[in-house]
């Protein structure tokens, strides 16, 4: 079992910024990591959960990326989240799967999301259809 520690990931900005998610709430089957913001409603969250059903393990990784804005109402600044982007992936592995099978699956999936994979990238980030 991995000990909860901060997770740092880069975005895809022209000058990539590193985002550090620190452990917030951790149990055996659910870990929540947050990138602290000026107010809790604006925090980015990364959660990792695990459950077993029959002979299958399901590992879910979910990222919440809110957009935080400040509204001025009657002269009072109020933070608001007008929208949130989500990324959600579930890996399903049989209990008889090997470590190498799981590593290969995760690696191939991560590489499929690389900017150089233009068909996937255009569909996901460009919101384009595939023809």
- The verdict on residue 26 lying in a domain is yes
Question: What's the structural domain count of the chain?
Answer: 1
So what's the pLDDT on residue 1? 67
- The verdict on residue 35 lying in a domain is yes
What DSSP string describes the chain? -PPP--EEEE--SSS--EEEEEEEEE-SSEEEEEE--SSGGG-EEEEEEEEEETTEEEEEEEEEEEEEEEEEETTEEEEEEEEEEEEEEEEEEETT--HHHHHHHHHHHHHHTSTT-HHHHHHHTS-----
So what's the pLDDT on residue 59? 97
So what's the pLDDT on residue 38? 79
pTM over 0.85: yes
Task: Tell which residue, 33, 41, 108, has the closest CA to residue 68.
Answer: 41
- The verdict on residue 30 lying in a domain is yes
The residue with tokens 């935080």 is 68
Name residues of the chain where pLDDT drops below 70.
Answer: 1
- The verdict on residue 96 lying in a domain is yes
- The verdict on residue 89 lying in a domain is yes
- The verdict on residue 2 lying in a domain is no
Give me the CATH number covering residue 67: 3.30.380.10
- The verdict on residue 55 lying in a domain is yes
Average pLDDT over all residues of the chain: 93
So what's the pLDDT on residue 75? 92
Domain range for 96: 7-121
Residue 44, classified by CB atoms within 10 Å of its CB into exposed (0-12), middle (13-18) or buried (19+), is buried
Task: Tell which residue, 63, 69, 64, 70, has the closest CA to residue 84.
Answer: 64
């Amino acid at each position: 079992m991995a000990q909860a520690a901060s997770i740092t990931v880069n975005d895809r900005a022209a000058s990539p910024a590193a985002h550090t998610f620190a452990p917030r709430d951790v149990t055996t089957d659910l870990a929540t990591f947050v990138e602290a913001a000026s107010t809790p409603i604006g925090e980015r969250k990364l959660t990792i959960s695990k459950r077993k059903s029959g002979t299958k393990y399901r590992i879910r990784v979910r990222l919440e990326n809110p957009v935080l804005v400040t509204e001025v109402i009657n002269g009072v600044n109020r933070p608001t989240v007008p929208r949130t982007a989500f990324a959600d992936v579930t890996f399903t592995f049989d209990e008889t799967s090997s470590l190498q099978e799981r590593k290969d699956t995760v690696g191939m999936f991560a590489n499929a999301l690389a900017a150089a994979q233009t068909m996937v990238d255009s569909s996901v980030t460009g919101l384009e259809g595939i023809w």
